[in-house]
Amino acid sequence: MTEIFFAALLLTLLGVVYVKGYDIVKRRSPEHLVHFYLMMATIRMLLIATVIALYVFLAPDREDAIRFAAIILIMYAIMMVVTLKLRH
């Protein structure tokens, strides 16, 4: 259960960083919004993949690892949709 809490916290922080960063880039240099989006999408994807890989390698059993990966990927997809809806 604590894994899900920390994963939700990580995804929330990534979403907040994206939204705040988007506002800053839009205000200061709107022509770089595309670069900012691609950079943040890459960072978010790599961080989520790293968290899933670490959990898979450290999980006590296979079913927990599969459940955790599925939950994280669903939460990641929801975060992507919400942040896109908020800023586009």
pLDDT tens for the chain, 88 residues: list them.
688 898 889 888 988 898 899 899 999 999 998 999 899 989 989 999 999 999 999 988 899 889 989 999 998 898 888 877 876 6
Residue 87 has a pLDDT of 67
| Residue 73 and residue 5 in contact, taking contact as beta carbons nearer than 8 Å | no
Looking at the domain assignment, is residue 13 inside a domain?
Answer: no
Indicate whether 7 belongs to any domain: no
Q: Would you state the structure tokens that stand for residue 78, as one six-digit string?
A: 């929801």
Residue 28 lies in a domain: yes
pLDDT at 35: 93
Instruction: Classify residue 65: in a domain, yes or no.
Output: yes
Q: Please report which residue ranges of the chain form alpha helices under DSSP H.
A: 2-28, 33-58, 62-87
**Is 1 a member of any domain?**
no
